[in-house]
Amino acid sequence: MMFNRLNNLLFGSLRKQLMVGMVLVISLMMGLFVWGMISRQQDEEIKSHTLQVSALAESTATSSAVWVASRDYSGLQEIVLGIAHYPQLNYIIVLDLHGQVLAHNDSSKIGLYLTDMPQKNEQTVVNRTSNLVEAISPISLSGQQVGWVRLGINRGHFQEEIALIRRDGLVLTLIGIVLSVLAAFFAGRILTRRLSAIQQVADRVEAGQSLARVALVGEDEAARLAKQFNRMLDSLSQREVAIKESEERFRSIFEHSSSVMLLIDPSSGKIVEGNAAAISYYGYAREHLTSLTINEINTLPAEQVAEERQRALHEERNYFIFQHRLALGEIRDVEVYSTPIESGGRRLLFSIVHDVTQRKLAEIALRKSEGKLNAVLQTMVDGLVTIDTAGVITFANQAAQNILSISKEAISGKYFQSQEFRQVGENGAPFPQEQLPLAIALREQREVSNVVHAIVTPDNKFKWLSVNAAPLFDEDGNLAGGIATFIDITERKKTEEEIRANEERMRIFFDNVPLGIFSSTREGKLVYVNPALPKMLGYESQEDLVEVVNRTSVAETLYVDPPLRQELMQELDKDYSHWKTIENRYFCKDGQIIDAIVSIGERQDSITGETIFDGIVTDITERKKLEEVQNFLAKTTSVHLGESFLKIWLAICRRVWACSMSVLIVSKAMV
Amino acid sequence: MFRLISLCYLFIAFALAACEQQPTDKPLQYSNAPTGTQTPVNRLVPHPLYNPQKLSETFQPLVDYLNRQVPAANLQLETSRDYQAFEKKFRAREGEFLMPNPWQTLEAQKVGYHVISMWGDAADFKGIFIVRKDSGIKVPADLKGKVVSYPSPTALAAAIMPQYFLHKNGIDINKDIQNNYVGSQESSIMNVYLGQSIAGATWQPPWRLFQKGHPAEAAQLKVIWETPSLINNSVMVREDVPQAIRDGVRQALLDLPTTPEGRKILDRMETARFHAADDASYEIVRDYIKRFEKEVRLVERK
């Protein structure tokens, strides 16, 4: 308060400032000048005094040395009294080394002691009092100190001279200040007369006369200032119009926007204004809405809402998710964008409110869906891997990790063509990288199915996979990556290998066994014959036999007694689990007839379901001939011997048949 | 900001104007007693054979040496402005140790001083006359009507013996010449150099010192006559000085030629050595003085 009053008194107007400035400059310069002069005078005087005092002390010490050394105190006193007439000399004392006064201009002091004797054997000059300079000089004779001289010079007259100079300087300074004040006053009056015209216009503009302008002629600084001032007023007017237009634009946008907009006082939270959309959205009348605070709409605690407002005010944050309560009590999720604006000279928060309730519901549904999908992906038996366009693995489900015997951390973020994943083809050679299903899917943007290759697991085992891959596209149809599903076919591959081996063994057996083996349909068409059968029947090859027989049927082509086959089938139909063994007679290709024992069984084809008859043919033509010979001989020699031979032969045939049947059953089962 | 700075400036300016550094008043403090304890000193007072400055230069090393050799002595050199001042001192029994000339030795004995040593060879104690080389003086008779300078009427070698020499050579020193007693040996020589006197009486040690100290001036002077020798100066001690100190100082003086430092001190004093001596050694001086006073003049005006 005090400072303000003093400030106003000294600097309240340009004229006062000018006067104060002049006073400061003059007083400073004069003060420095007087101070400098006095200081210099003092320095010179002190230097002169010091020299005088030093010289006098040294001279006295020199002249008194002999007297001190000789203890001629009367002569010493004469010397001292001779010097005592020196102008301004206050005292002169000659002392011995113990401080005893040997001679003094005041003879009553002789014999006394001075208590403050110097410690060093050297000349010193000190200001003993404000008006007294003292010089102390050692008295030496032939380098041996024998005493001291102390003399004091009064410089009171000099102080008086200095005081006089100071007084004169002060008077001159005051005169200078007075003159400078007068000069500043008149100069200020001349200078500020034209400035006051500008001031008056400024006052009128402030009072609302925005079109008022300064009319100063001339080219001096005031006139130039007036022109610049007028230009500034013009600029301000234009800016004011622009601001008004801007405010109107804002007002229009605010009012007509379909978005919910609010103006909120950041300190109290009071809703200063809401647009038509806000009134419609919240369901309050305009007057009611502007009587509320945002705390009554926002479901968060008032303190938290106030904190968020301050964050928005300080532009630390401008995006918020709140829940707002509508007039009817319905709670809605809203997204709020708040930014501080200046309006009517105060700061307000301009908030745009978007209802995101539906979006949030959709998000929840999406999250649920994603959860399900994720559950499916994680629980499906097939392995599933996705990659981005760069080939980096972005997802691998649990089955993929299990099949590949690799952890999620070890697979995620890796390139699917990484060296860590060693793929091997069915031929045992490394699988070409460019032929990997995902590589094809990415490169050619097409689906790839049932590609089989192995991947070498970390424990160096082959995992055989059957892989499908397809490209993934984003919503714009651009390639976004790829997806691959795969199953572990290692066990299947193993089984197939075993079957293949068994079949090969059976083929070798069938090709080399000396019995004819065939398979035929119910209609009598040959499905299979082994190499021994055409050989047995005189055909050139298996194909030749099949081709000839299948022109008609087995019964018609080969059977000597065609109806026998029908009877045989009927018996087998009755009990298809047991094979039938009969003797039969067959036509060879050349028309000859052979005797054979045929064992036939019935079965269903595992693929077609068709009834198939498998048979084993043993050529017994020679045996029959032999039997005939035996019969002939038996008739003539021993019937018993023939019977025994027949029994042995039949036993052999039964064993061959049993063996063939077991092989056939195994082979069929494998098929 | 400008306004604040201006206000501060005004405040500081007025504050500075009101201030001036004042020295602290420290008036002189007198007391009736010295501030510390003082060790008693024994003053060694040589007779003023040189001016006090030269005397101090010459004898201070001896005093320092004796203080080192006999710490209990605590000697302090004291000069004298002239012979009269010196004689006044010892007659007032000021000074525990004296280094007087032979005549003063006799005088000091009267007030309680005793000889402990002789200072220099006896043969070296003889007076000399100095004249300017261009003075034209050839025989003592040439001095008649002229001014002759001496240090003091009581100076044995530099006044009494030269005057007795002139007396023996037919000069009535009270009538034929004007005797000018100038206070010191050097002054006696300088008077000759400056033409204030035609001849100056002194003795060998001061003359040798003058030649060293003033070679240019000495080059214009010469020794024209020498007196016969007598006995040299003495070292005396006051009777109340403790025997131990007295013996210590005496022995230290006699031992001076035995050390390089001692010989250096002796050289500075233009002295060969100190000899053992006592009061009786100076009886010849008493006889000499008697003759002188009888034939020439009284040594001192009563």
| pLDDT < 70: residue spans in chain B | 1-26, 36-38, 301-302
User: In chain A, which residues have their Cβ closer than 8 Å to the Cβ of B3?
Assistant: 7, 10-11
* pLDDT for residue A187 is more than 90: no
Mean pLDDT of A103-111: 89
* A69 to B77: CB separation less than 8 angstroms, yes or no: yes
3-state secondary structure string across A590-649: CCCEEEEEEEEEEEECCCCCCEEEEEEEEECHHHHHHHHHHHHHHHHCCHHHHHHHHHHH
Burial class (CB in 10 A: 0-12, 13-18, 19+), A448: buried
User: In chain A, which residues have their Cβ closer than 8 Å to the Cβ of B7?
Assistant: 6-7, 10
**Smallest CA–CA distance from A27 into chain B, residue:** B13
For residue A645, name the pLDDT band (cuts at 50, 70, 90): low
pLDDT at residue A669, rounded to an integer: 43
Burial class (CB in 10 A: 0-12, 13-18, 19+), A455: buried
Selected for mutation to probe chain B from A63, A142, A154 (highest B CB count within 10 Å) is A142
Selected for mutation to probe chain B from A34, A141, A159 (highest B CB count within 10 Å) is A141
* Per-residue model confidence as pLDDT tens digits over B119-176: 888 888 899 999 999 999 999 999 999 999 999 898 889 999 999 999 999 999 999 9
**Can you tell me the distance from the alpha carbon of B214 to that of A53, in angstroms, rounded to the nearest whole number?**
33
In chain A, residues 119-138 whose CB comes closer than 8 Å to chain B: 126-130
**Smallest CA–CA distance from A38 into chain B, residue:** B20
User: In chain A, which residues have their Cβ closer than 8 Å to the Cβ of B6?
Assistant: 10-11, 20-21, 24
Between A128 and A640, where is the model more confident? A128
Is residue A452 within 8 Å of residue A426, measured between CB atoms?
yes
Q: Report CA-CA distances (Å) from B219 to B135, B193, B207, B214, B223.
A: 13, 10, 12, 9, 11
Listed in sequence order, the DSSP H helices in B92-203 are 102-109, 161-168, 185-193
* pLDDT for residue A479 is more than 70: yes
Mean pLDDT of A69-96: 86
**Can you tell me the distance from the alpha carbon of B139 to that of B141, in angstroms, rounded to the nearest whole number?**
5
User: In chain A, which residues have their Cβ closer than 8 Å to the Cβ of B57?
Assistant: 142
Q: Report CA-CA distances (Å) from B121 to A390, B4, B276.
A: 127, 93, 11
pTM for the whole structure: 0.44
* pLDDT for residue A333 is more than 80: yes
Between A573 and B137, where is the model more confident? B137
B7 touches chain A (CB under 8 A): yes
pLDDT at residue A125, rounded to an integer: 82
Show the tokens assigned to A564.
């026998």
Enter the DSSP assignment of A298: B
**Can you tell me the distance from the alpha carbon of A10 to that of A20, in angstroms, rounded to the nearest whole number?**
7
Mean pLDDT of A629-650: 65
* A115 to B9: CB separation less than 8 angstroms, yes or no: no
Q: What is the C-alpha radius of gyration for chain B, rounded to an integer number of angstroms?
A: 27
**Can you tell me the distance from the alpha carbon of B153 to that of A303, in angstroms, rounded to the nearest whole number?**
123
Is residue A597 within 8 Å of residue A621, measured between CB atoms?
no
Long-range contacts, stretch B13-17, CB < 8 angstroms, 24+ apart: B13/A27, B13/A28, B13/A31, B17/A31
* Per-residue model confidence as pLDDT tens digits over A286-300: 899 999 999 899 999
Type and span of the H or E element at A127: strand A124-129
**Can you tell me the distance from the alpha carbon of A584 to that of A569, in angstroms, rounded to the nearest whole number?**
14
pLDDT at residue A670, rounded to an integer: 45
Is residue B267 within 8 Å of residue B62, measured between CB atoms?
no
Enter the DSSP assignment of A295: G
pLDDT at residue A660, rounded to an integer: 58
B78 touches chain A (CB under 8 A): yes
Residue A224 has a CB neighbour count (10 Å cut-off) of 12
Is residue A130 within 8 Å of residue A159, measured between CB atoms?
yes
For residue A658, name the pLDDT band (cuts at 50, 70, 90): low
* pLDDT for residue A340 is more than 80: yes
* Per-residue model confidence as pLDDT tens digits over A15-35: 778 778 877 887 788 888 878
In chain B, residues 21-50 whose CB comes closer than 8 Å to chain A: 22-23, 25-36, 38
ipTM of the assembly?
0.70
Type and span of the H or E element at A149: strand A144-154
Angle made by CA atoms B251, B256, B261, in degrees to the nearest 5:
140
* Per-residue model confidence as pLDDT tens digits over A540-572: 999 999 999 999 999 999 999 999 998 888 888
**Smallest CA–CA distance from A99 into chain B, residue:** B34
Residue A145 Ramachandran class (φ > 0 left, ψ -120 to 50 alpha, else beta): beta
- Nearest C-alpha of chain B: how many angstroms from A205? 28
Is residue B246 within 8 Å of residue B255, measured between CB atoms?
no
Question: What values do phi and psi take at B233, rounded to 5?
Answer: -65, 165
In chain A, residues 35-74 whose CB comes closer than 8 Å to chain B: 65-67, 69-72
Closest to B159 in 3D by CA, of B267, B270, B84, B72: B84
Q: Report CA-CA distances (Å) from B223 to B124, B142, B161, B299.
A: 15, 15, 15, 25
* Per-residue model confidence as pLDDT tens digits over B164-179: 999 999 999 999 999 9
Percent of chain A with pLDDT over 90: 25
* A114 to B17: CB separation less than 8 angstroms, yes or no: no
pLDDT at residue A344, rounded to an integer: 72
Going edge to edge, which strands form the sheet with A331-343? A271-274, A260-264, A346-355, A331-343, A319-325
> Is A474 in a helix, a strand, or coil?
coil
* Per-residue model confidence as pLDDT tens digits over B9-26: 655 655 555 555 555 566
Is residue B193 within 8 Å of residue B221, measured between CB atoms?
yes
**Smallest CA–CA distance from B8 into chain A, residue:** A24
Going edge to edge, which strands form the sheet with A526-529? A526-529, A516-521, A611-619, A593-604, A580-587
Mean pLDDT of chain A: 85
- Output the CA torsion A47→A49→A50→A54 (10° steps): 140
- B178-181/B147-150 β-pairing: parallel
Question: Token match 């918020």: residue?
Answer: A320
A361 touches chain B (CB under 8 A): no
User: In chain B, which residues have their Cβ closer than 8 Å to the Cβ of A69?
Assistant: 52, 56, 77-79
pLDDT at residue A213, rounded to an integer: 87
pLDDT at residue A668, rounded to an integer: 47
Cα atoms in the 13 Å half-sphere on the side-chain side of A183: 11
**Which residues on adjacent β-strands are paired with residue A89?**
A153
Going edge to edge, which strands form the sheet with A101-104? A101-104, A89-96, A144-154, A132-141, A124-129
**Can you tell me the distance from the alpha carbon of B48 to that of B168, in angstroms, rounded to the nearest whole number?**
27
Is residue B273 within 8 Å of residue B121, measured between CB atoms?
yes
Question: Token match 């303190």: residue?
Answer: A303
Residue A315 has a CB neighbour count (10 Å cut-off) of 10
**Can you tell me the distance from the alpha carbon of B228 to that of B161, in angstroms, rounded to the nearest whole number?**
8
pLDDT at residue A128, rounded to an integer: 64
Question: What values do phi and psi take at A581, rounded to 5?
Answer: -120, 125
* pLDDT for residue A245 is more than 60: yes
Mean pLDDT of A97-106: 89
